């Protein structure tokens, strides 16, 4: 077998199966940070109505929409104009995105562009083979006070995303208040580093076969049974699996409340010292925090060498509808300092 054939056989050198797409200003800024943190094997895109913002995006493909009516100057908060523009450009956008297995869509809610594109593209991609994962950044409360248009954009986009069901990551800027002494761009970097961990851990889980394997098909069928779900991530020293679970389940920036009997997909990534006992303790700790899951799917990836740190990626299903803008109950999100 020649080198080329070997490579093809091993699936190396093939087109990346994952894409991250920044929608609007905040979504584009977040993708830019993710690229800075390293995104090998992931294709990068930006879609915007704002040409000036779009041209400075360091992504592989830029897509300007609504040029005829908006002249490349942004939507000024008008969600319905952007929705029309998105429908006009829909075929072109989907042609580029639908060939990926997983498409992460990132947007800040409140403006016109991100609030329109996030639910629209998530719902259009749902009709294809691709699995869209919307990541919504919720604005600071002070941005919405006395601004009913912005609030309507946030509420409208969230309602559409909840109706769609499936995986949804909603990260609230309010949860960043503990960093209020830092410059604002640094605060967003902390959040984007957390998003980077979520994206890379999910990509790793799907991309690399594990001892107890979780592939794309099992993720999709788990999601189909789980209602509105979210993704969580934590890492901790192997000696303390309970702390690892606490890290993943309560130290996110995610903003939601859970049903009484959630479903859980748990994937552990560790070294050759990862024992069955550690796995049991993780499952036990999840049970004691969330209650008995109505559906539990387990996966592990064990590297050849021993590792001090174990990573836990969790897909938790059964988020309560209309919960995203309210104070969470079961999980109390605080932020882990990143970097
Ligand atoms: N610029 C920026 N805004 C953020 C970020 N994270 C959350 N946001 C919020 O995202 C919301 C949406 O703002 P933009 O992304 O600028 O709006 P847009 O989607 O480009 O929409 P229009 O400019 O109105 O067409 C704002 O209210 C911010 O609070 C971030 O990292 N950068
Ligand atoms: Mg904008």
Q: Which residue segments constitute the domains of the chain, with CATH numbers given?
A: 3-164 (3.40.50.1440), 211-319 (3.30.1330.20)
| pLDDT surpasses 80 at 339 | no
In this prediction, residue 169 carries a pLDDT of 92
- Per-residue pLDDT band at 337 (split at 50, 70, 90): very low
| pLDDT surpasses 60 at 209 | yes
Tens-place pLDDT, residues 282-331: 999 999 888 888 889 999 999 999 999 999 999 999 877 654 544 443 44
Q: Which of 331, 315, 160 is nearest to 249 (CA)?
A: 331
In this prediction, residue 82 carries a pLDDT of 98
Expressed in angstroms and rounded, the spacing between residue 45 Cα and the centre of ligand 2 is: 16
Q: Which of 21, 22, 24, 26 to mutate to test the pocket of ligand 1 (most atoms within 8 A of CB)?
A: 26
In this prediction, residue 106 carries a pLDDT of 98
- Per-residue pLDDT band at 68 (split at 50, 70, 90): very high
Q: Which of 63, 25, 24 is nearest to 43 (CA)?
A: 63
pLDDT > 70: percent of the chain: 87
- Per-residue pLDDT band at 272 (split at 50, 70, 90): very high
Does the CA dihedral 300-303-309-313 come out positive or negative? negative
Looking at per-residue pLDDT, the higher value among 260 and 222 belongs to 222
> Which stretches of the chain are assigned E, i.e. beta strand?
18-23, 42-48, 61-64, 102-108, 131-138, 169-172, 229-237, 258-270, 295-302, 309-319
Report which ligand 1 atom has the smallest distance to the Cα of 139: 29
- What is the pLDDT averaged over residues 54-58? 96
- Per-residue pLDDT band at 110 (split at 50, 70, 90): very high
Q: Ligand 1 in contact with 171 (CB < 6 A)?
A: no
Question: Which range has the top average pLDDT, 3-7, 80-84, 260-264?
Answer: 80-84
| φ, ψ for residue 242, nearest 5 deg | -65, -40
| pLDDT surpasses 90 at 258 | no
Ion ligand 2: residues, CB < 5 A: 24-25, 50, 74
Q: Which of 114, 138, 141, 179 to mutate to test the pocket of ligand 1 (most atoms within 8 A of CB)?
A: 114
Q: Ligand 1 in contact with 28 (CB < 6 A)?
A: no
The rounded radius of gyration (Å) of the Cα atoms in the chain is: 20
- What is the pLDDT averaged over residues 25-34? 97
Q: What is the pTM of this model?
A: 0.90
| CA-proximal residue: ligand 1, atom 32 (nearest) | 26
Q: State whether residue 157 is helix, strand or coil.
A: helix
| pLDDT surpasses 60 at 336 | no
Cβ contact 264:290 at 8 Å: yes
């Amino acid at each position: 077998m020649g080198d080329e054939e070997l490579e093809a056989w091993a699936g190396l050198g093939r087109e990346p199966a994952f894409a991250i797409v920044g929608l609007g200003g905040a979504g584009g800024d977040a993708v830019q940070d993710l690229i800075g943190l390293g995104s090998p094997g992931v294709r990068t895109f930006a879609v915007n109505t704002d040409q000036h913002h779009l041209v400075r995006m360091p992504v592989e493909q830029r897509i300007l929409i609504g040029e005829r009516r908006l002249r490349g100057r942004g939507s000024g908060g008008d969600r319905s104009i952007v929705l029309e523009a998105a429908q006009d450009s829909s075929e072109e956008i989907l042609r580029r995105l639908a060939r990926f297995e997983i498409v992460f869509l990132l947007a800040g809610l409140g403006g016109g562009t991100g609030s329109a594109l996030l639910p629209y593209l998530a719902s259009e991609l749902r009709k294809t083979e691709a699995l869209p994962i919307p990541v919504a950044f919720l604005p600071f409360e002070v941005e919405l006070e006395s601004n009913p248009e912005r609030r309507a954009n946030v509420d409208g986009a969230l309602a559409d995303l909840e109706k769609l069901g499936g995986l949804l990551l909603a990260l609230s800027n309010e949860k960043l208040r503990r960093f209020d002494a830092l410059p604002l761009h640094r605060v967003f970097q902390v959040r984007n580093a957390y998003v980077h961990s979520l994206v890379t851990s999910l990509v790793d889980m799907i991309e690399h076969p594990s001892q107890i394997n979780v592939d794309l098909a099992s993720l999709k069928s788990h999601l189909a049974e789980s209602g509105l779900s979210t993704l969580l991530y934590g890492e901790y020293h192997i000696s303390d699996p309970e702390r690892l679970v606490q890290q993943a389940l309560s130290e996110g920036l995610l903003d939601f409340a859970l049903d009484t009997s959630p479903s859980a997909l748990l994937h552990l990534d560790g070294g050759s010292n990862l024992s069955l006992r550690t796995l049991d303790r993780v499952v036990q700790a999840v049970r004691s925090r969330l209650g008995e899951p109505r559906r539990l799917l387990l996966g592990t990836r064990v590297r050849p060498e021993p590792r001090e740190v174990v990573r836990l990626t969790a897909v938790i299903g059964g988020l309560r509808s209309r919960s995203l803008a309210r104070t969470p109950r079961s999980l109390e999100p605080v932020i882990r300092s990143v970097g």
